[in-house]
């Protein structure tokens, strides 16, 4: 490894267990020389799994519900204190839909659940950005990333109201990315990741079949959580200073495919 993040400080949201994309990002960031705090919703910390990652990466765990601005403010305060200054990177790796969890069909959504999922999955990104903005918590040329999925652009019926949440999330990255770029020289992007076998991913109905379909459609195959972590590292590094307000597909080529030989074969009876 090449110390791409040597001296950089950050906050990583959303490592739940060793399958989590954020978990792999934390491991890679540590390998590349970064220091950071780890955070998750208090309820997700109950199992205590995050302590192993904290120990491995020498990081402090600071609980925060990402929908709660007071908790986010405390998180940023404590992180800057712990790390000894302003931050260079933030990863928002958070998603949850109550309608998906409870198997509610998109044509029968419960709107209280919709609002909860929208707050957790999309508005929380605005809350993170606004907290960092108001506290002037980011160093110049810092980088803020959120994870998203292509259902924001194309229809994947079982992704349900998460598709709308992701569209909103990606829009926030563009809108806030303008202000962060113009005033603070900080970049804001979303990474649109392949389907990945994690707790959140496997909550989507028919996920096994879907992950196989995406694998067969993608010329490079699905991007794994480790691949995603490596991509995040490049976007936190100084090698991508002028990339901002983008939704960056990280999916082995899936997003530009019409059909592949592998998928065609299944319809040709070969
Ligand atoms: N797994 C996939 O197929 C896939 C594909 C594309 C994008 N993504 C996105 O990647 C991100 C990470 O998901 P993952 O696949 O690693 O699954 P995961 O279940 O490991 O991570 C989701 C995280 O969100 C956290 N979270 C939920 N509510 C929260 C709250 N109120 N405050 C703070 N944290 C909260 C959970 O505790 C968990 O750590 C999500 O945005 C997800 O939509 C996942």
Pocket of ligand 1 contains residue 40 by CB under 6 Å? yes
Region 181-205: mean pLDDT is: 93
- Which atom number of ligand 1 is nearest to the Cα of residue 197? 1
Residue-wise pLDDT tens digits, 30-53: 999 999 999 999 999 998 899 999
3-state secondary structure of 25: helix
Distance 268 CA to ligand 1 centre (A): 37
CA 23 to chain centroid: 11
Counting DSSP H helices and E strands in the chain, the numbers are 11, 6
Pocket of ligand 1 contains residue 152 by CB under 6 Å? no
Listed range (87-96, 115-124, 202-211) with the worst mean pLDDT? 202-211
In the predicted model, is pLDDT for residue 65 greater than 70?
A: yes
Distance 165 CA to ligand 1 centre (A): 13
Distance 65 CA to ligand 1 centre (A): 13
Distance 14 CA to ligand 1 centre (A): 6
What is the pLDDT confidence band of residue 270, given thresholds at 50, 70 and 90? low
- For residues 153-170, one letter each, b for 16 or more C-beta atoms within 10 angstroms of the residue's C-beta and e for the rest, the string is eeebebbbbbbbbbebbb
Pocket of ligand 1 contains residue 186 by CB under 6 Å? no
What is the pLDDT confidence band of residue 88, given thresholds at 50, 70 and 90? very high
Distance 79 CA to ligand 1 centre (A): 21
| Cα distance between residue 163 and residue 151, in whole Å | 5
Q: Whose CA is nearest to atom 38 of ligand 1?
A: 14
Please report the DSSP string for 212-251 in residue order: HHHHHH-TT----HHHHHHHHHHHHSGGGTT--S-EEEES
* pLDDT for position 227: 98
Pocket of ligand 1 contains residue 67 by CB under 6 Å? yes
Pocket of ligand 1 contains residue 200 by CB under 6 Å? yes
In the predicted model, is pLDDT for residue 160 greater than 90?
A: yes
For the chain, the first-to-last Cα distance in angstroms comes to 44
Region 216-235: mean pLDDT is: 98
How many CB atoms are located within 10 Å of the residue 72 CB? 23
Please report the DSSP string for 27-91 in residue order: HHHHHTT-EEEEE--HHHHTT-THHHHHHHHT--B----TT-HHHHHHHHHHHHHHHTS-EEEEE
Does residue 210 or residue 84 have the better pLDDT? 84
| Cα distance between residue 159 and residue 95, in whole Å | 12
* pLDDT for position 185: 98
What is the pLDDT confidence band of residue 1, given thresholds at 50, 70 and 90? low
Pocket of ligand 1 contains residue 198 by CB under 6 Å? yes
How many CB atoms are located within 10 Å of the residue 147 CB? 26
Distance 17 CA to ligand 1 centre (A): 11
Distance 21 CA to ligand 1 centre (A): 8
Pocket of ligand 1 contains residue 16 by CB under 6 Å? yes
Q: Whose CA is nearest to atom 20 of ligand 1?
A: 20
Length, in residues, of the chain: 270
| Cα distance between residue 15 and residue 17, in whole Å | 6
Pocket of ligand 1 contains residue 190 by CB under 6 Å? no
pTM over 0.75, yes/no: yes
Pocket of ligand 1 contains residue 191 by CB under 6 Å? no
Pocket of ligand 1 contains residue 214 by CB under 6 Å? no
């Amino acid at each position: 490894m090449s110390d791409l993040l040597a001296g950089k400080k950050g906050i990583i949201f959303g490592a739940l267990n060793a399958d989590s994309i954020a978990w792999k990002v934390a491991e890679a960031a540590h390998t590349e020389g970064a220091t950071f705090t780890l955070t998750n919703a208090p309820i997700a910390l109950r199992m205590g799994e995050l302590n192993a990652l904290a120990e491995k990466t020498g990081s402090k765990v600071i609980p925060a519900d990402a929908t709660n601005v007071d908790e986010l403010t405390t998180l940023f305060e404590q992180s800057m204190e712990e790390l000894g200054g302003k931050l260079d990177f933030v990863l928002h790796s958070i998603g949850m839909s109550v309608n998906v969890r409870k198997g509610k069909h998109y044509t029968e959504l419960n709107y209280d659940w919709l609002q909860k999922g929208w707050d957790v999955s999309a508005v929380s990104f605005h809350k993170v950005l606004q907290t960092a903005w108001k506290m002037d918590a980011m160093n110049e040329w810092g980088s803020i990333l959120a994870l998203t999925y292509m259902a924001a652009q194309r229809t994947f019926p079982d992704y349900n109201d998460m598709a709308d949440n992701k569209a909103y999330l990606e829009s926030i990255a563009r809108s806030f990315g303008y202000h962060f770029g113009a005033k603070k020289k900080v970049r804001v992007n979303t990474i649109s990741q392949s389907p990945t076998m994690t707790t959140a991913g496997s909550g989507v109905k028919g996920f096994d079949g879907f992950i196989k379909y995406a694998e067969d459609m993608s010329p490079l195959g699905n991007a794994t959580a480790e691949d995603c972590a490596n991509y995040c590292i490049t976007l936190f590094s100084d090698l991508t200073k002028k990339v901002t307000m983008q939704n960056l597909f990280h999916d082995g080529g899936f997003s530009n495919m019409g059909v592949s030989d592998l998928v065609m074969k299944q319809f040709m009876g070969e």
